[in-house]
Amino acid sequence: MRIILLNIILLFSYHSYSQKSIEIYQKNSTQIKIKAVNDFEKIEITTSKNNKTQIIDSIETSISDREMHFAIEDYNFDGYQDFSTYHLDDGMGVYTIFQLFIYDPISSQFKQLKMPRNFGPECDEFCDIQINKKKKTIQSSCRGGARWHTDVWKFDKNKNLILLKK
């Protein structure tokens, strides 16, 4: 029951898209088109600001062919829309694995948000992401054996991701 409820919450808490392309309109009027190529083998991103194409080819896809999706959210709370790719885990499909991409308004490009390992997080990747806009935190929950683990992340004043609690 918990798994079903969690999946329903995830479904309605994100601007989620299962299609292979999305458009984002930033607060500075920049239009961004994001397209998955060859079933998320890579992502092509074009912006109206500079008309250059950014290629991201480090997308971690499901090894068991689970469907990939896009989500749009302001993950670093800077007022600009970021995006993520996600899919159900390849085991029993009890949690969702995310890759987060943060928008840089100066370069008009996206950079993958890497989870810092020096904090010793419980989860080795971003899973079942929940955003708390009021506290400006990202919560990641994963399953290890029979237990659920939760890491709470926040950006410091230098825009570095730090672990608040595990």
* pLDDT reported for residue 60: 85
How many helices and strands, by DSSP H and E, does the chain display?
Answer: 1, 14
Residues 6+ apart with CB under 8 A from 138: 75, 126, 129, 130, 131, 132, 152, 153, 154
* pLDDT reported for residue 16: 47
* 68-127 pLDDT, tens digit each: 999 999 999 999 999 999 998 888 778 899 999 999 999 999 999 998 878 889 898 999
Kindly list the distances between the CA atom of residue 107 and the CA atoms of 6, 24, 110, 132, in Å, as whole numbers in the listed order.
36, 16, 8, 27
* pLDDT reported for residue 166: 64
Q: Picking from 74-78, 133-137, 141-145, which range would have the lowest pLDDT averaged per residue?
A: 141-145
Task: Give the C-alpha separation, 6 to 166, whole Å.
Answer: 19
* pLDDT reported for residue 79: 96
Q: What are the two backbone dihedrals, phi and then psi, of residue 42, each rounded to the nearest 5 degrees? A: -155, 170
Residue 39: pLDDT band (50, 70, 90) is: confident
* pLDDT reported for residue 5: 46
Alpha helix (H) ranges present in 16-154? Answer: none
